[in-house]
Amino acid sequence: MYSPNLTTWRAQYHRLKRGLEKLRRPYRSSTEYEDDLQHYLQDCWHLKDWIKNDQSTSASGLIENEVAAHRALRVVADLANGAKHFTRTTHREGAYVTSSSVTVHLAQDKPIDVEYIVTLADGTTLTASSLVTDSFDAWSQVLARLGLDP
C-alpha cells in the first residue's frame, strides 16, 4: 500500500476500470468470475473513500451526496459491504444476490456465461452484469459533475 502522498484517487479509478475490463472478457471458471465481480464491487464502492480522503481534490466534501444520488452505486454499496463484512448494519437498497446461473457453451471463444441476479428490498431485480455497467456509468457522471478528470 502506497503512502497517500504517492498516489491519488485516480489509482483507484484505474483499478476499477481494469476490473470492468476483466469482467467483460470470456470466463472458463464461474469461481473466477465471482472473485472478479466481488473485487469490482469493492473497488467501485471504495472509489468514494479514495476521493473523500484525497487531499489533492476539493470534491471530498461533495462526494457522499453525489454518490447517494445514483441507485446503482447504492446497490453496489450494499453488495460490497456485505462481501467485506459478511453481514451489514446499514442497507441503502436492501440488495442481495439471490440467484446465479452458469451456461456452458461448446464454442472455445466463449466457454461460459455467468449471471447473478440481485434482488432489492422493493422486490425489483437486476443482473450483476447490468449493475456493473450502470455503476461504472454512474461514476463517469459523478466524476464529470465534480470536475474530476480520471
What CA–CA distance (Å, rounded) separates 105 from 11? Answer: 36
Confidence of residue 5 (pLDDT cuts 50, 70, 90): low
Say yes or no to pLDDT of 10 above 70: yes
The pLDDT score that the predictor gives to residue 85 is 53
Confidence of residue 107 (pLDDT cuts 50, 70, 90): confident
The chain-wide mean pLDDT, for the chain, equals: 89
Average the pLDDT over 57-65 and give the result.
88
Confidence of residue 18 (pLDDT cuts 50, 70, 90): very high
Q: Helices marked H in the chain — which ranges?
A: 9-23, 30-53, 63-68, 71-85, 128-145
Q: Supply the angle between the helices 30-53 and 71-85 in degrees, to the nearest 10.
A: 110
Q: In this structure, what are the phi and psi dihedrals at residue 99, rounded to the nearest 5 degrees? A: -165, 165
Q: Domain-by-domain residue ranges, the chain?
A: 4-89+129-145
Q: Using only C-alpha atoms, what is the Rg of the chain?
A: 16
CB 117 within 8 A of CB 127: yes
The pLDDT score that the predictor gives to residue 42 is 96
Say yes or no to pLDDT of 89 above 80: no
